[in-house]
A and B are shown apart, each in its own frame.
Chain A
Amino acid sequence: MTTFLPGYPFPPNPVLLFGLLLLAGIVGGELVKRALRLPRIVGYVLIGLLLGGSGVNLLDAKIAKESWIFVDIALGLVLFDLGRRLHFNWLRNDRWLLATGLLESGLSFGCVYFTLTYLGVEAIYAAVAAAIGVSTSPAVVLLVAQELKAEGQVTERALNLVAMNSVIAFILTTMLLSWLHHVYRASWTMIALHPVYLLGGSLILGYLASVAAIQLSRWIGKHAERQVVALLALIALSIGAARMLELSVLLALLAFGVFSRNLDERHDLMAVDLSSVGQMFYVVLFVVSGAKLQLVELMTGGVIAAAYVIARFAGKSIAVMSLTYFSGARAGSAGLLCIALTPMSGLALAMVHGTANVYPDFGAKLGTIVLSAVLILELIGPIAVNFALNRAGEAKDAVA
């Protein structure tokens, strides 16, 4: 009699969790959109905060940990999509755009690093925190652009700058691992080879995936629906392989995107749209990243968070404001680009998570420095991008 009934409390499972997170996100996003007229992403994050440790603690640390698989898939999709936006030809034809990307990454690193050390943060923490701050959240910029159906120079340039600063942030954080290993007195092989393995391995994985994608597409032919499935298969495979091989999921997928765009000389890959598939993972990504954030930390680390946010914005803005004039962008777009580069979110969390995997106590302390800033920028970021793209007249329904 009792055997066919489920035990109580009902045993949860990942699919149930996925559905719940998605549902919560959709409701939160809709409420925020209707009540506050803010981008839906803000709602996803807020509902995450509400359900997470800072709120009713329905998504406790254990459950949030289980959901990292969805976060991996979501970030993998985002970074692949972003990588496909990075077009080497453009950087060749508008070298000032390339210069802007390099300078804004360099300056935001420098500004954050010096501000944090000035405030008494240890150098190694300041450096890794600054490296993470180099990146702009690709998920936020891509998603807001998609939600607005935005198209135009500010949107495209912002996405290319995000792609560049994401690449640079990965390289910096990975290289800093050597320093970190040194601080933790790891063996010299660790110090010397771990970053090489991470960078080299992830890049090779991304490269192989892109070659496979191009060959497979050539064989399949110009059939968008089949090419999408093939790509999704390779994306899932790459994410899984990166996990399995202890490589960087983020860098591997970004490399996959970049290579598949720039190595496809015969144009075998169609410009397939992954956004409809990606959408549901993105929603979950933001809910989970909201749940990971702690309001309490904002209370304690408020000053550092504020300084971090301001220094980062200053570094990015000085570079963008001084170089955009020389690029092909129209007058007035530099300020909007600065604003569009504000967001931080799941990518930064994943990078913190990455270091925490290696040295948990380092990750925990790094978290107190970075996560408060991420909390601020995850909420302000979507609003900033929304404002910038609308003001640029590039949203589909914007009044130009």
Chain B
Amino acid sequence: MSDAEMDFAPSTDLSIGVELELQILNSRDFDLARDAADLIALLEKASIPGAVKPEITESMVELNSSIHKSHGSLVAELKTIRDAVAQAAQRLNVRIAGGGSHPFHSWADRRIYPTERFNHLLSLYGYLAKQFTIFGQHVHIGCPDGDTAIYLAHILSRYVPHFIALSASSPFQQGEDTAYQSSRLNTVSAFPLSGQLPFVQSWEEFINYFNKMKNFGIVESMKDFYWDIRPKPEYGTVEIRVFDTPLTVERAALLAAYAQALARHILTDRPLAPSRDVYVVYNYNRFQACRYGLESRIVDAYAQRRVSMKDDVLETLAVVAPHATELGNGEALAMLREEVAADRTDANWLREIYRERGSLNDVARMQSDLWMGLDQGGQMKSGRES
């Protein structure tokens, strides 16, 4: 990668974009299927907004939204994309589901999507590449310049536990209840270049760090860093990558709206300065959020005390509310607040379904019914067919 490619391409302040990694299931036993190529080929014939891309294994597909200024247009577009994807999936007799993990697939059954990059990842990471069949949501937030992006990334790191707890939707893995609300991030942690942005204070410092890593031969491009939050210079964004893919696109849009309002608060009020203490407690907080979700207690590095996650999220929602209103996300955040207050999370929903049905196949099926908007008979609910 030339230096020019590390130039920070400025983008509209606080614009948002979303990437969703989704599960492709068969409709026989609802295990992961292998139809990514067929699905992508079929969607290429349809004209839908955004983009549809392959991911590391043939059981995954990634949907990208275009760039948005607020929640309203984002959620409308995500619904359009979802309906098109759901229809294409039905023609192939496969299911699409949200959720950070498939409840019972066996990673050894996965096949790498045949591209040069993915084959390289398989030869480099071995079984980890197949275990990487987990499903995350990435939220991009537009920044005017690299220095702003670095600042934003450091302050957002304090809120990473919120993002984890609010999106947690991977309680089951490989046929077991993991006891975690989000088990997906444990899989990410196995990669040597996972973790956090180093404690650099400017884009220039960051470039120095990057070049050092590149000269050591550790990385080739920004893509090689699997950080929880990373700057994305070619898009001119900060990319938050800790979200599990929620069970619905509506929830995905709510989470993006929260991140956007929070970013606006951070960049307009500049309430905090980057602190090393955030990174001292970082992994502890991250674990707590993964394990207990909204029920966890985390350490507020700035206030130097332990707080309840749920209270912390609710307080933060109150702080950013005016910014949400400014952005046109007021209603969205009110809805999110309601969900949090009522402990309605995707992980809880999945466990509830499992208790009710006693079968992870049913969990996977109902996960896909929910995402695709299908009735119990597997047909699209009326009003959803375009």
Chain A contacts for B34, CB-based, 8 A: 151-152, 394
Tell which of B27, B28, B377 touches A265, judged by Cβ atoms closer than 8 Å.
Answer: B377
The reply to whether A222 and B359 form a contact with Cβ atoms under 8 Å apart is yes
Asked if B358 contacts A270 (CB within 8 A), the reply is no
Q: Are B362 and A328 in contact (CB under 8 A)?
A: no
Measured between beta carbons, the chain A residues less than 8 angstroms from B26 are 151
Contact A93 B27 (CB under 8 A): no
Contact of B91 among A84, A87, A328 (CB under 8 A): A328
Instruction: Point out the residue from A84, A394, A400 that lies within 8 Å of B114, measured CB to CB.
Output: A400
Q: Are B38 and A271 in contact (CB under 8 A)?
A: no
Q: Hey, which chain A residues are within 8 Å of B93, CB to CB?
A: 87, 89-90, 93-94, 156
Contact A152 B38 (CB under 8 A): yes
| B379 close to chain A: CB less than 8 A | yes
Q: How far is the CB of A80 from chain B (nearest CB, A)?
A: 14
Interface size on A, residues (CB 8 A): 27
CA gap between A271 and B30 in the complex, in Å: 9
Q: Does A292 contact B (CB under 8 A)?
A: no
Residues of A within 8 A of B41 (CB): 330-331
Counting CB contacts under 8 A, is B92 at the interface? yes
CA–CA, A330 to B28, complex, Å?
Answer: 21
Bound complex: CA of A94 vs CA of B93, how far in Å?
8
Q: Using A152-B38, A328-B42, A329-B38 as known contacts, say yes or no to A89 and B33 having CB atoms under 8 A apart.
A: no
- Say yes or no: A222-B358 contact (C-beta < 8 A), given A267-B365, A271-B29: yes
- Chain A residues lying within 8 Å of B30, measured Cβ to Cβ, are 271
Listed residue (A221, A222, A267) with the most chain B CB atoms within 10 angstroms of its CB: A267
- B377 to A89, Cβ gap below 8 A? yes
B35 with A153: CB separation less than 8 A: yes
Nearest CB in chain A to that of B45: its residue = A328
Q: State the CA gap A310–B104 with chains docked (Å).
A: 45
* B351 CB, nearest partner CB in chain A, Å: 16
The answer to the question of B378 belonging to the interface, with a C-beta cut-off of 8 Å to chain A, is: yes
Judged by a CB distance under 8 angstroms, whether A327 is at the interface is: yes
Output the least CB separation between A260 and chain B (Å): 13
What distance in Å separates the Cβ of A266 from its nearest Cβ neighbour in chain B? 7
Most buried by B among A84, A153, A396: A153
Chain A nearest Cβ from B250, distance in angstroms: 24
On chain B, the residues within 8 Å of A267 by CB distance are 362, 365, 376
- Find the A residue at minimum CB distance from B114: A400
- Nearest CB in chain B to that of A331: its residue: B41
* CB atoms of A221 and B92 under 8 A apart: no
The yes or no answer to B70 lying at the interface (CB within 8 A) is no
Tell me if A153 and B358 are in contact (CB < 8 A): no
The complex places the Cα of A178 from the Cα of B359 at a distance, in Å, of: 48
Is there contact, CB below 8 Å, between B379 and A89?
yes
Complex CA gap A93/B89 in Å reads 10
B residues less than 8 Å from A84 (CB atoms): 28
Contacts of A156 in B (CB 8 A): 93
CA distance A151 to B379 in the complex (A): 23
Is A40 an interface residue, CB under 8 A from the partner? no
Q: Is A85 in the interface zone, CB < 8 Å from B?
A: yes
> Is B90 in contact with A93, judged by CB distance below 8 angstroms?
yes
Q: Which residue of A lies closest to B31 (CB)?
A: A271
B112 nearest CB neighbor, chain A only: A400
- Please provide the chain A residues from 135 to 150 with a CB less than 8 Å away from any CB of chain B in the complex: none
Contacts of A270 in B (CB 8 A): 29, 359, 361
A85 CB to closest chain B CB, in angstroms?
7
Within 8 Å CB of B33, what residues of A? 151-152
Evaluate whether A266 and B377 lie within 8 angstroms (CB atoms) in the complex, with A94-B91, A151-B33, A153-B38 already known: no
Q: Is B37 an interface residue (CB 8 A)?
A: yes
Asked if B259 is at the interface of the complex by the 8 Å CB criterion, the answer is no
Answer whether A271 and B28 are a contact pair too, CB < 8 Å, given A222-B357, A329-B38, A330-B41. Answer: yes
**Cα(A265)–Cα(B379), bound, Å:** 12
CA distance A169 to B108 in the complex (A): 39
Q: Is the CB of A327 within 8 A of B91?
A: yes
Across-interface contacts of B365 in A (CB, < 8 A)? 267
CA distance A221 to B362 in the complex (A): 12
B38/A89 in contact, CB under 8 A = no
Contact, CB under 8 Å: A93 / B91: yes
Q: Is B88 an interface residue (CB 8 A)?
A: yes
Complex Cα–Cα for A97 and B376 (A):
23
The 3 residue pairs across chains A and B that have the minimum distance between CB atoms:
A271-B29, A328-B91, A222-B359
Interface residues of A (CB under 8 A from B): 84-85, 87, 89-90, 92-94, 151-153, 156, 221-222, 265-267, 270-271, 327-331, 394, 396, 400
A-B contact pairs, 17 of them (CB 8 A): A85-B28, A93-B90, A94-B90, A94-B93, A151-B26, A152-B33, A221-B358, A222-B362, A265-B377, A266-B376, A267-B362, A267-B365, A270-B361, A271-B361, A330-B38, A330-B42, A331-B41
Q: A152-B34, A221-B358, A396-B111 are in contact. List 9 more A-B contacts (CB 8 A).
A: A85-B28, A94-B91, A94-B93, A152-B33, A152-B35, A265-B376, A267-B362, A267-B376, A270-B29
* Chain B interface residues (CB < 8 Å from chain A): 26-30, 33-35, 37-38, 41-42, 88, 90-93, 109, 111, 114, 357-359, 361-362, 365, 376-379
